[in-house]
Chain A
């Protein structure tokens, strides 16, 4: 009897011990996970704040009225919010008109980039021809070579384009883009090439057997399957073209047609036309102008954001 009871007690303690060990293991696991999660959250939130803080500062500052600016008690939340900065900036920038011309310019260039770069990328991905490796090496050279190396000859070329001087018009940019040498075209060709290489060959063969021509296959079947990379390239192209001042300065584009050129001289324009000398007030106007410039791309980006991030991941940009 004693033996049985002893055995029972022993079993009981063993059981408890085991449960305790399990609990301990669980506690360790949970706290480990919690600490890691906390660390991750701190890092991510901290860095997100670092990225967002200038933006938050600019947005809140752009609503400050003059009295807010001089009042040291006002921080982030304006006491007398005003829309005056925006009204003036919109007037000075001729916002509606300049946004329209800029968007027309950028969107049409984007469309051309999409067509040309996807064609070239498809050519590299699916066809075999002599010197293919060498030609693809040239694409890599295009990505690596900084434009400043060739800006002088390009400037000359378009200055004496036959009998014409094409500078100060949007034509040079269009010509270069049509021939696959636009802003970062090399990168887009690379992206499209990687993506098309990743698509199964069977779809194409099926189309070919059904009697589709090669251009038809490309436009109707391949491009429709390449939507993620199309979105990737269009966002990259739109954003970079929108922000570009290098090509615009090189081709001496008219500052009244491009927002990126206009914003560079925005501060002095405001200062001269309204006779504002206090830089702290000028700063508020500049911030309003910058936000007006960021806003359109930001809206496009937020709309396409989800598809875009997925697009980059699937588009084989990584090679």
Chain B
């Protein structure tokens, strides 16, 4: 009797829970699952859009679209490799930069609220619309007659020869590739800052969730700040590093050249089948990268709870 009553309550709760989810389940099936299936279907066909009626006809051509994308398309494989390379270079930079900034901003100091507000600004400013509006004017300036005066006043020339200082570090026998990486990173500091607003916020939250007793113990045992970071802070924020890596990869992927190319193939060149194939290839590759990276880190992750 008792057991039966318990069962019904559990079933009732399950039903109510599914009821809570129902709008999303319908949406997911209708928009995501169906669209994914259609995408796969498009990629295996030549798609002809009937612009007058809005319908389309499919002609099956197997994996020709995939072969075309890799073997014959002028710049697909090149752009794909470059985009992936950009993502792989940027992700560690963004993650470590935002971790560093979060640690700086975690402690109490005067004007903390203001600084945090400023660091979230890029999320607002990083609008595609604003960027494209400014790009238009930049292109005009570059090509325009008055390009010289405008470009001169815009270029912030500080009169410092950076190459000299870079060469100076080269004298210290730092490996060339590492040097180039760091110089490249400093050159793109603006991109990195503007891409790490959300990550900084997530890391600040992560740092604040570390119990202070761990730091007390470390202090009593005589650990230095350096040791405390690697033995306490770093392992404790590890799960959030995964969250941030996923967010960063997805974010930079959505803004990458390869996605733009797939978009243009579809909407400018009307080659829908090829575009679907491109999208699928890139998505599968990114998901694989995410899976490998997360799997790799997950094994080394320490979960407190």
Contacts of B189 in A (CB 8 A): 50
Q: Evaluate contact between B17 and A128: CB separation under 8 angstroms.
A: yes
Chain A residue contacts of B282, Cβ below 8 A: 146
The answer to the question of A282 belonging to the interface, with a C-beta cut-off of 8 Å to chain B, is yes
**Residue contact B121 to A145, C-beta cutoff 8 Å:** no
Q: Which residues of A contact B141 (CB under 8 A)?
A: 279-280, 283
A318 B202 Cβ-Cβ under 8 A: yes
Contact B21 A120 (CB under 8 A): yes
Which residue in B39, B56, B120, B253 is a CB contact (below 8 Å) of A150? B39
- The reply to whether A51 and B117 form a contact with Cβ atoms under 8 Å apart is no
Judge whether A47 and B101 touch: CB under 8 Å. Answer: yes
Task: List residues of A (77-123) whose CB comes within 8 Å of B's CBs.
Answer: 116, 119-120, 122-123
Listed stretches A3-11, A13-21, A23-31, A289-297; interface member: A289-297
A152/B31 in contact, CB under 8 A: no
CB A1 to nearest CB in B, in angstroms, measures 46
Q: Are A278 and B146 in contact (CB under 8 A)?
A: yes
Determine if A154 and B35 form an interchain contact, defined as CB atoms under 8 angstroms apart. Answer: yes
- Complex alpha-carbon distance, A228 and B269, angstroms: 46
Q: In whole Å, how far is A37's beta carbon from the nearest beta carbon of chain B?
A: 8
CB neighbours of B10 from chain A (8 A): 128
Contacts of A245 in B (CB 8 A): 127-129, 132
User: Cβ of A51 and Cβ of B54 under 8 Å apart?
Assistant: no
Which A residues, 281 to 316, have Cβ-Cβ distances below 8 Å to chain B? 282-283, 286, 289-290, 293-294, 297-298, 301-302, 305-306, 309, 312-314
Of all chain A residues, which has the CB nearest B97? A47
**B187 interfacial by beta-carbon distance below 8 Å:** no
Bound CA span A129–B30, Å: 21
Which A residues touch B21, using CB under 8 A? 119-120, 123-124, 135
Does A72 interact with chain B (Cβ within 8 Å)? yes
Is A156's CB within 8 Å of the partner chain B? yes
Question: How would residues 233 to 255 of chain A score, 1 for a CB under 8 Å from any chain B CB and 0 otherwise?
Answer: 00000010011111000000000
Give the complex CA separation of A97 and B124 in angstroms.
22
- B261 vs chain A, min Cβ distance (A): 10
How far does the Cβ of B79 sit from chain A's closest Cβ, in whole Å? 14
Cβ-neighbour of A148 out of B38, B123, B193, B263 (below 8 A): B263
Chain B residues within an 8 Å CB radius of A129: 14-15, 17-18
Cα A289 to Cα B137 in complex, Å, equals: 12
Nearest CB in chain A: distance from B34 CB, A = 7
Q: Is the CB of B133 within 8 A of A143?
A: no
Chain B residue at minimal CB-CB distance from A285: B137
Which of B13, B56, B124, B150: most chain A Cβ within 10 A?
B124
On whether A147 and B20 interact (CB within 8 A), knowing A51-B121, A154-B35, the answer reads no
Q: Nearest Cβ in chain B — how far from A184, in angstroms?
A: 10
Q: In whole Å, how far is B185's beta carbon from the nearest beta carbon of chain A?
A: 14
Q: Is A223 an interface residue (CB 8 A)?
A: no
Residues of B within 8 A of A211 (CB): none
Residues of A with C-beta under 8 A to B297: none
- Nearest neighbor of A70 in chain B, beta-carbon distance: B149
B132-A264 in contact (CB<8A): yes
> Are A156 and B17 neighbours in the complex by a CB distance under 8 Å?
no
Q: Judge if B283 is at the interface, Cβ distance under 8 Å.
A: yes
Evaluate contact between B27 and A156: CB separation under 8 angstroms: no
- Does B122 sit within 8 A of A, measured CB to CB? yes
B134 within 8 A of A: yes
Taken together as a complex, chains A and B put the C-alpha atoms of A313 and B113 apart, in Å, by 13
A189 and B25 CA atoms in complex are apart in Å by 12
* CA–CA, A150 and B253, complex, Å: 15
A152 x B276 contact (CB < 8 A):
yes
Q: How far is the CB of A311 from chain B (nearest CB, A)?
A: 10
A149-164 with Cβ < 8 A to chain B: 149-154, 156-157, 159-160
Check A206 for interface membership: any CB of B closer than 8 A: no
Nearest CB to that of A46 among chain B residues?
A: B189
Check A179 against B23 for contact (C-beta < 8 Å).
yes
**Contact in complex: B17, A48 (CB < 8 Å):** no
A35 — which chain B residues lie within 8 A by C-beta? Answer: none
Separation in Å of the A185 CB from the closest CB of chain B? Answer: 8
Q: Which residue of B lies closest to A309 (CB)?
A: B116
When the two chains form their complex, are residues A51 and B253 in contact, meaning their CB atoms are under 8 A apart?
Answer: no
Q: How far is the CB of A221 from chain B (nearest CB, A)?
A: 15
26 A-B contacts (beta carbon < 8 Å): A40-B104, A50-B189, A55-B125, A126-B17, A127-B14, A127-B18, A129-B18, A130-B14, A146-B250, A152-B275, A152-B279, A153-B35, A156-B38, A157-B31, A178-B23, A181-B31, A239-B124, A243-B127, A243-B129, A264-B132, A282-B137, A283-B137, A286-B137, A293-B129, A309-B116, A317-B202
5 A-B pairs besides A176-B31, A185-B24, A298-B124 with CB distance below 8 A are A128-B14, A144-B246, A149-B279, A150-B31, A179-B24
Question: A-B pairs with the 9 shortest C-beta distances?
Answer: A127-B17, A179-B27, A123-B20, A180-B24, A243-B127, A150-B35, A153-B35, A153-B38, A279-B140
B-side residues, CB < 8 A to A, are 10, 13-21, 23-28, 30-32, 34-36, 38-39, 42, 54-56, 101, 104-105, 109, 113, 115-130, 132-134, 136-137, 140-141, 144, 146-147, 149-150, 153, 189-190, 193-194, 201-202, 204-206, 208-209, 239-240, 243, 246, 250, 253-254, 259, 262-263, 266, 272, 275-276, 279-280, 282-283, 286-287, 290
